[in-house]
A and B are shown apart, each in its own frame.
Chain A
Amino acid sequence: MVKVDGSGTSSLIQVRDLDKTYHRGGEEIDVLQGLNLDVNQGEFVAFMGPSGSGKTTLLNLLGGLDVPTRGSIRVSGDEITHMSAGKLTEWRSRHVGFIFQIYNLIPVLNAFQNVELPLLLTKLSKAERRDHVETVLSVVGLADRMKHFPRQLSGGQEQRVAIARAIVADPTFLLCDEPTGDLDRKSADEIMRLMEELVAKYHKTVLMVTHDPLVAARAQTTLHLEKGVLVEGRKIPQAIPAGGVE
């Protein structure tokens, strides 16, 4: 059960008293202030909030892409806020799968090669890498598009390749920054079904930033960022209506 009051004890992701302050032109901007969060294995959490509320900043901190001003982040017992840049990079490769709004696939690599990228950092053999990549591309429904380059795929297919890339190394959790923000309704619906499947069937832990309440409603829990702290939102039980999301 997701908690935002700092009372969790054995959660997978444990954030305590997290502050993030930016300095711009001599001015201090407090983006996150004393933020607490506990997320357990297999939970699907959506973060909402107005632009500039710090959603992406929180995601970056959880993913070890940025360092907080104060506070701590523990993932599977590892305190990441004091890790060196090199250690954080290595930690990310093992624990975090990133899914971005604009997919960010490498255009000169085909779907198979894009998905294979995180595995190049492992000691898996070529045959093992091939097995892993083929498996995840089947999971995302693109087994027949392995040799296609990003320019030969639709937006939805590109995002599915990006999801396959994010899960291929079996990370501890997935961080999704507006994963449907660049997609039409139908494609967005397909992506959200896939995310739900990853959580329900494969017990993946997913943390997702979105502006869209209907997309957020597909998560088990929606949290709102207001004035630098998280506020628990209500669960929106209904599924996305036929025709997708707005």
Chain B
Amino acid sequence: MRFGGLILANLFRKKIRLALTLGSFAVALFLFAFLGVVRDAFNRGADVAGADRLVTINRTSIINPIPLSYRDKILRIPGIKCITHNNWFGGVYKDEKNFFPQFVIDPENQRQVFPEFSVPDDQWNTFLKDREGAVVGARTMERFHWKIGDRIPIKTTLYGGGSWEFNLDGVYHGKQAQDDETQFWFQWDYFEERIPDRLKGNIGWYVLRVENPDESPRIAKAIDQEFANSPYETKTETESAFAAGWVKQFGNIQFLIVSIGSVVFFTLLLVTGNTMAISVRERTAELAVLKAIGFSDRSILFFILGESLAIALVGGLLGLLLATLAIPVLANALNGMLPNLILSPKLLAFGLFTALVVGIASGILPGIGAMRMRVVNALRRV
């Protein structure tokens, strides 16, 4: 037996207490991981946004349209490589719970502006020729068990309402795991044809790629100046700023998640700190004996921190393992309401690091108390 053996023996002194404390860590780390992936899912748009992409929206709000006629004027500004436009369709497939994002796209420029989404050429060519065609992300395709050639009805309450039908011509895949594969794209021409006259000629937003990302501020300024004092003033920003603004529509998700996460860890700190304090108090005489027979104050602190760190490590790993197993199941249960829930190695490492910090914090005060304890006083109390 060396010091590790002594730490291990003490850990198993009260098995129920050990199990409950490990359980507290496991639950807290599971919650942490879940909140983390949700936060990442919301922020991913900003994280993966192309550095060379700008988004132009109506200055008033993203729900206000801008004219399609701005396209050519924007393209005249030097430094722009290509431009496309999108509209938000806001429909559902059969039922309200079957939500996924549908976008009206400009097929001619979509692939130039969003090269991270790949569609097989033959499928894309079919789509281009099919006025009622649609291309869907692989996750949504899988979710509804669709196949190429299916006729897909989408109900919407916008644009005059009703059920729109599409031919599924293709499926797109993201090039990276975090790319959003839940979108549903269909053609601008079909959209323009079916919407009421008063809405025709308006798009939701422009997305453009610039030649040189360093020139983005200048180009954004030039676009907004071009349409200043017009009935449809614009706001042009980087795609990441646009994505962050989009997320803000749901409320301050970041603040909410960080707040809940902080409360979880603070509660965990109180629970484990109290457990360690009780555990040390119960062993006052034993620790005093160890000091009497020659164990240094530092080794006493080491024993106690060793115990709290071991609990944090094992409980934390359990929680993260649970999260690794459960998050894909939860992601499926959420039915694509959120983009991909990905438990990244970075998040796992940060979770474990936080657990270890809580482990140290919960053991440090009882450990310092035991370190400073005078042997004679401790033995007199027994």
Contacts and interface: CB of A to CB of B under 8 A. Distances in A.
Interface of A: 60, 63, 65-66, 85-86, 89-90, 92-94, 98, 100, 102, 104, 106-109, 113, 116-118, 120-121, 165
Contacts of B376: 60, 65-66
B297 A89 contact: yes
B140 to A, nearest CB: 56
A92 B13 CA distance: 28
Nearest to B288: A104
Given A92-B292, A92-B293, A104-B285, A120 B1 contact: yes
B286 interface: yes
B375 interface: yes
Given A104-B289, A113-B9, A121-B294, 8 more contacts: A86-B296, A92-B293, A100-B379, A106-B6, A106-B289, A109-B1, A109-B9, A121-B293
B2 interface: yes
B251 interface: no
21 contacts: A63-B292, A86-B296, A92-B292, A93-B293, A98-B292, A102-B382, A104-B285, A106-B286, A106-B290, A108-B13, A109-B1, A109-B6, A113-B1, A113-B5, A113-B9, A117-B290, A117-B293, A120-B1, A120-B2, A120-B6, A165-B293
A66 B376 CA distance: 7
Contacts, number: 66
Residue from B292, B293, B297 whose CB has the most chain A CB atoms within 10 Å: B293
Contact of B294 (A66, A93, A108, A109): A93
A31 to B, nearest CB: 12
A116 B295 CA distance: 13
Contacts of B266: none
Interface residues of B, number: 25
Nearest to A93: B294
Contacts of B375: 65
A166 B5 CA distance: 20
A90 B294 CA distance: 6
B324 interface: no
Contact of A121 (B1, B286, B295): B295
A107 B9 CA distance: 9
B3 interface: yes
Interface in B254-303: 285-286, 288-297
A22 to B, nearest CB: 11
B289 A116 contact: no
A63 to B, nearest CB: 7
A92 B295 CA distance: 9
Interface string B1-41: 11101100110110000000000000000000000000000
4 cross-chain pairs, A with B, having the tightest CB-CB distances, nearest first: A93-B294, A108-B9, A104-B289, A65-B375
B12 A108 contact: yes
Residue from A85, A86, A90, A117 whose CB has the most chain B CB atoms within 10 Å: A117
Contacts of A102: 382
Nearest to A113: B1
A98 B291 CA distance: 11
A165 B289 CA distance: 11
